[in-house]
Amino acid sequence: MPQINTGDFRKGTKVILDGEPYDMLECNFVKPGKGQALYKTRLRNLLKGTMLDRTYKSGDSLEGADIRKSDGQYLYRDANGFVFMDNETYEQYTMNEAVAADKVKYLLEGATLQMLYWNDQLIDMTPPQHVTLEITYTEPAAKGNTATNVTKPATVETGAEIQVPAFIEQGDRVKLDASTGEYVERVRT
């Protein structure tokens, strides 16, 4: 991979540190009164999600990371984890449950998403911003509880439990924020 000089450091630059890919979240140029210019960076490990602060001198360089994004599709869950398909190459990739469980719990099979690869290995996926799911179970609303924003637990068709307003009933379709599971609105059919 090409070397990236400190002068080319920018937010969003992908680099290799200690053999792992990192995303540059911040890069600040600092010119002290005397001495060499410094580049203070904040990096996020793309495999583990950990944060790292590093300072580099002017003239230093880092190895660029071979990161690629692609559209994909969530296929199914098996004993090894969650299986996704790249929409361009039709190759299937399995992501272990520890990495993908929170991101997949609001997705139905066949949902489209963004996939992130490092050295042709799936390392992350981003679900769509919103998903529409059916409420499979929720308690009936208590009469008279309409004056305030009262919520109640509900189970959606993927098996995840969410909080919904009191007027939502079993069988209703709701729009959710796929990254947090928060209720957005009821979907009329």
Structural fold of domain 67-126: OB fold (Dihydrolipoamide Acetyltransferase, E2P) (2.40.50)
The answer as to CATH 2.40.128.20 being correct for domain 3-64 is: no
Cα–Cα distance measured from residue 123 to residue 21, given in angstroms and rounded to the nearest whole number: 10
Quick one: pLDDT at residue 1? 65
Taking CA atoms, 177 is separated from 55, 62, 135, 157, 164, in Å, by 36, 37, 15, 15, 12
Q: Tell how far CA 180 is from the center of its chain.
A: 10
Domains of the chain by residue range? 3-64, 67-126, 130-187
The answer as to CATH 2.40.50.140 being correct for domain 130-187 is: yes
Cα–Cα distance measured from residue 126 to residue 76, given in angstroms and rounded to the nearest whole number: 16
How confident is the chain (189 residues) per 10-residue block, as mean pLDDT?
Answer: 88 92 92 89 88 93 92 92 93 85 87 91 89 92 68 92 91 92 89
pTM exceeding 0.85 = no
Tell me whether the CATH fold assigned to 67-126 matches the one assigned to 130-187: yes
Quick one: pLDDT at residue 33? 85
